[in-house]
Amino acid sequence: AQTVTQSQPEMSVQEAETVTLSCTYDTSESDYYLFWYKQPPSRQMILVIRQEAYKQQNATENRFSVNFQKAAKSFSLKISDSQLGDAAMYFCAYKGYMNYGGSQGNLIFGKGTKLSVKP
């Protein structure tokens, strides 16, 4: 079974600085997808970024970028120029290749990293 591990329960960053959140996963599949979700105090889950395993290029969305190391099964999230609004729980999630059936396409979440941003 696939697992997702976020080894940092809490992280802190100074406003305008850069922070990296770690995520590792375990799978025997070669095709899959990885996601980072943000959950602010409102508790609304928001997609931050996604990565297809078959793509070697790391995904980027404005200030958010990932370092995807397929061989190491690592998927870290880098937040540049941190803002107060970035304070939230961040969840890493894995999704297997889904062939229109079965549970392999369901999301598997890590336990999350709580990010604090200091002004």
For binding to other proteins (CB under 8 A), which residues are involved?
Answer: 9, 33, 35, 37, 42-47, 50, 52, 91, 95, 98-101, 103, 105-107, 109-112
Contact 111, 9 (CB under 8 A): yes
Question: What tokens does 79 get?
Answer: 């937040």
Question: Cβ contacts of residue 10 below 8 Å, gap of 6+?
Answer: 113, 114, 115, 116
C-beta closer to other proteins: residue 27 or 52: 52
Q: Least Å distance between CB 85 and other proteins?
A: 18
Please identify, using beta-carbon distances, which residue of 5 and 18 lies nearer to other proteins: 5
Of 16 and 107, the one with the shorter C-beta distance to other proteins is 107
CB of 19 to other proteins, least distance (A): 20
Residue whose C-alpha is closest to residue 93's, from 114, 79, 112: 112
- Minimum separation from the CB atom of position 110 to other proteins (A): 6
Nearer Cβ to other proteins (63/111): 111
* Torsion, CA 52, CA 53, CA 56, CA 60, rounded to 10: 40
Cα gap 4→33, rounded to integer Å: 12
Q: CB of 68: closest distance to other proteins in angstroms?
A: 14
